[in-house]
Chains A and B, each alone.
Chain A
Amino acid sequence: MHELGVVFHVIDEIEDIATKNDVKHVNSVTLQIGTVTGIVPSYLTDCWNWAVSKHENMTDCRLIIEKIEAITHCENCNQNYNTIIYGKICPHCQSKDTYLLQGNEFMIKEMEVI
Chain B
Amino acid sequence: MDKIKIIEVKESVFASNDRRAEELRQQLKEKGTFLLNVMSSPGSGKTTVLTGIINELKNEFRIAVMEADIDSDVDARTVSKNTGVEAIQLHTGGMCHLDADMTRQGIEALNDKDNYDLIILENVGNLVCPAEFDTGAVRNMCILSVPEGDDKPLKYPLMFEIANFVLINKIDVLDYFDFDIDKCKENIRYRNPMADIFEVCGKDLRGIKEVSDYLRGLIYDWRN
| Chain A interfacial positions (CB closer than 8 Å to B) | 1-2, 4-6, 8-10, 12-13, 16-17, 21, 23-24, 27, 31, 38, 88, 96, 105-114
Closest to A36 in B: B157
Q: Is the CB of A109 within 8 A of B9?
A: yes
Q: Is the CB of B9 within 8 A of A27?
A: no
Closest to A6 in B: B13
Minimal beta-carbon separation of A30 from chain B (angstroms): 9
Main secondary structure of the interface of A (DSSP, over half): mixed
Q: Is the CB of A1 within 8 A of B4?
A: no
Pairs A–B under 8 Å by Cβ, sample size 26: A1-B128, A1-B129, A2-B132, A4-B95, A5-B129, A6-B13, A8-B95, A9-B13, A9-B14, A9-B17, A13-B13, A13-B16, A16-B16, A23-B7, A105-B12, A106-B13, A106-B14, A107-B10, A108-B9, A108-B11, A108-B12, A110-B7, A110-B8, A111-B9, A113-B5, A114-B5
Q: Give Cα A105 to B132, complex, Å.
A: 12
Q: Is the CB of B9 within 8 A of A110?
A: yes
**Total contacts A-B at CB 8 Å:** 75
Chain B residues with Cβ under 8 A from A1's Cβ? 96, 128-129
